[in-house]
Chain A
Amino acid sequence: MGRSFGFDELLYLLLAIPSTLLLSLGAMIGGGILGLMIAVMRISPYRPLRWFTTGYIELFQGTPVLMQLFVVYYGLAVLFNLQVAPWPAVLLAFTLYSGAFLGEIWRGSIQAIPRPQWEAAECLTLTYPKQLWYVILPQAARISIPPTVGFAVQLIKSTSIASIIGFVELTRAGQLMTNTTFKPMIVYPIVAALYFMLCWPLSLLAQQLERRIDANLGAKRHF
């Protein structure tokens, strides 16, 4: 009955790690660019931009990422007769998803910068984009590092959903190995352990960054 779980099967799981990592990384980069645009539009003086981005964030935060994936994968095919391969489909879906979450995280970080910082920059005759670029965003970036890394951990785990449409990443590789070996109680703990090995260092990094930012502020408070 089936193959035994040996070195080849373990190797197959390990070789699926790059797919999970590349999907996560791609979604972080694409979502990062999208998220930055959303964050900036979300605080824009122009109301239509704020409405649009608020709607976008509500939509993507208020629906399961699985549904978003289905809509991208099947929806494009049905609506536009556009057959998308799994790889671009999952990358697009997770980019849209990450954009909403990162946009909201960064919007909060930007708005945490006190109003007088804007005023001081404005009084030096910097234009609005330069006020953002030189004064607000560098400070907001520091605040946003811990929650951003935290989101990256969430994202790595969420990419397991991509297995549903047949995209072979770590979870899908686990399913395939279970199907051939019939040993889910060996395969899935290993898959879980591999996810843990990806996420744990990032969690540690997030904690350390948080501590370092706290320590910096503490050290600077007294003179």
Chain B
Amino acid sequence: MPILALRGISKRFDSHQALDDVSLSIEPGEVVAIIGRSGSGKSTLLRCINGLERPDRGTIEFDGEVFAPTPPRLRALRRHMGIVFQSYNLFPHLSVERNITLGLTAAKGMTAPAAHAVAVKVLQMVDLEDKIKSYPLQLSGGQQQRVAIARALAMEPRLVLFDEVTAALDPELIGEVIRVLDRLAREGMTMVLVTHEMGFATRSARTIIFMHQGRIWEQGPPAQLFGAPRTAELASFINSILPVAPAQNRAQPHSSPIGST
């Protein structure tokens, strides 16, 4: 039985059809990477899944329950569904520990010592147990994003959504976050990621979803989508994100190191 089932989700922003009849089903333990150009509806789809955007049409079934968009039902939905944002969205006035324990004590009714134990545990999972007393703005972007992941994991989610979580990071900080994602995938966490990290998608995702014009344009395992795209749109998208050929290759015909002649 799927843990998440979307049926006929549509969402319109003024004149822009962000999502057009999207249906999707995700099995427990599945890692799904959503790719596509900006404006293709990837982030809107993710935000619809946990109710940050309210779809105009369609139903969302999570864990066998259909969720209406009322505040109490949305809280029930999110109780087992974490989300990590592109810009971390940590609370700057709270310590790393309090960022993680706030939802546990203020929403789940956990005692402070129990919440502290959870904070220690999830910070170990992202290798940041020594930063428990720090404040978010004292950390690097990569560390902040790992704290944000730990905060999502602390709620013991059955599904975690990741919205371009490496897109705001400096290139040298992306690796530490990707390593955490790889580890979570290996440990069997159910994850839906909007991502541009094709290495991660190929390595860790079971399913790739290519979105175009608010629709699921192609869907399948990484080898199939990246190796043999069926549509011109996907082929052109893959080409556009391939690394540019190294400069030395292009420059080679002209280069003649001094002294070699």
CB distance from A214 to the nearest CB of B (A): 14
How many residue pairs link A and B with beta carbons under 8 A? The number is: 63
- Please pick, from B92, B103, B137, the residue contacting A125 in the complex, using a CB distance under 8 A: B103
Stretch at the interface among A36-44, A64-72, A133-141, A175-183: A133-141
What residues of chain A lie closer than 8 Å to B91, measured between beta carbons?
117, 120-121, 135, 139
A45 CB to closest chain B CB (Å) equals 10
* A127 adjacent to chain B (CB < 8 Å): yes
Q: Which residue of A lies closest to B139 (CB)?
A: A223
Selected contact of B103 from candidates A126, A128, A139, A221, CB within 8 Å: A126
A167, B140: Cα distance in complex, Å = 58
Q: Which residues of A contact B138 (CB under 8 A)?
A: 220, 223
Contact with B along A89-130 (1 / 0, CB 8 A): 000000000000000000000000000110111111111101
Task: State the majority secondary structure of interface residues on A.
Answer: helix
Instruction: Digitize B83-96: 1 where CB-to-A-CB distance is under 8 Å, 0 elsewhere.
Output: 10101011111000
How many residues of chain B are within 8 Å of chain A by beta carbon? 27
Residues of B within 8 A of A135 (CB): 91, 102
**B82 at the A interface (CB under 8 A):** yes
Q: Quick one: CB contact mask for B121-133 with A, threshold 8 Å, 1 for yes?
A: 0000000000000
By beta carbon, the residue of chain B nearest A135 is B91
The residues of B that contact A130 with a CB separation of less than 8 Å are: 106-107
| A125 with B107: CB separation less than 8 A | yes
Out of B79, B89, B90, B151, which one reaches A119, CB within 8 Å? B89
CA distance A134 to B105 in the complex (A): 11
List the B side residues contacting A123 at CB < 8 Å: 50, 52, 78, 82-83
Count contacts on A: residues with CB < 8 A to the other chain: 21
| CB-based contact A124/B103 at 8 Å | yes
Instruction: Determine if A223 and B106 form an interchain contact, defined as CB atoms under 8 angstroms apart.
Output: no
- Whether B52 lies near A122 (C-beta < 8 A) is yes
The answer to whether residues A125 and B85 also contact, given A117-B91, A134-B102 and a CB cut-off of 8 A, is no
B155 at the interface (CB under 8 A from A): yes
B155 and A124 form a contact (CB under 8 A): yes
Please give, as numbers and ranges, the residues of chain A lying within 8 Å of B140 by CB-CB distance.
223
Question: In this complex, what residue of A is CB-closest to B90?
Answer: A120
| B71 adjacent to chain A (CB < 8 Å) | yes
Known pairs A124-B155, A130-B106; A138 contacts B87 (CB<8 A): no
* Least distance between A158 CB and chain B CB atoms (Å): 32
Known: A134-B106, A139-B92, A139-B93. A125 touches B78 (CB 8 A): yes
Chain B residues with Cβ under 8 A from A134's Cβ? Answer: 102, 106
A142 at the interface (CB under 8 A from B): yes
User: How far is A122 from B85 in the complex, measured between Cα atoms in Å?
Assistant: 13
Collect the chain B residues with CB atoms within 8 Å of residue A221's CB.
137
**B79 with A125: CB separation less than 8 A:** yes
Contacts of B83 in A (CB 8 A): 123
Chain A residues contacting B75 (CB-CB under 8 Å) are 125, 127
List residues of chain B with CB within 8 A of the CB of A138. Answer: 93
In the bound assembly, the distance between CA atoms of A124 and B52 in angstroms comes to 12
- Give the complex CA separation of A156 and B74 in angstroms: 47
Residues of A within 8 A of B85 (CB): 116, 119-120
By beta carbon, the residue of chain B nearest A216 is B137
Cα–Cα, bound, A138→B78 (Å): 24
The winner among A125, A139, A142 for most chain B CB atoms within 10 A is A125
Give the shortest distance, in Å, between B247 (CB) and chain A (any CB). Answer: 31
A116-B87, A134-B102, A220-B138 known; A125-B108 Cβ under 8 A: yes
Q: A122-B74, A128-B71, A139-B92 are in contact. List 18 more A-B contacts (CB 8 A).
A: A117-B89, A117-B91, A119-B85, A119-B89, A121-B91, A122-B78, A123-B50, A124-B78, A124-B107, A125-B103, A125-B108, A126-B102, A126-B107, A127-B107, A135-B91, A220-B138, A223-B137, A223-B139
A positions within 8 Å CB-CB of B: 116-117, 119-128, 130, 134-135, 138-139, 142, 220-221, 223
Q: 6 tightest A-B contacts by CB?
A: A124-B103, A220-B137, A120-B89, A125-B107, A116-B89, A125-B75
11 contacts between A and B (CB under 8 A): A119-B52, A120-B89, A125-B78, A125-B103, A125-B155, A126-B102, A127-B75, A134-B106, A139-B93, A220-B92, A220-B138
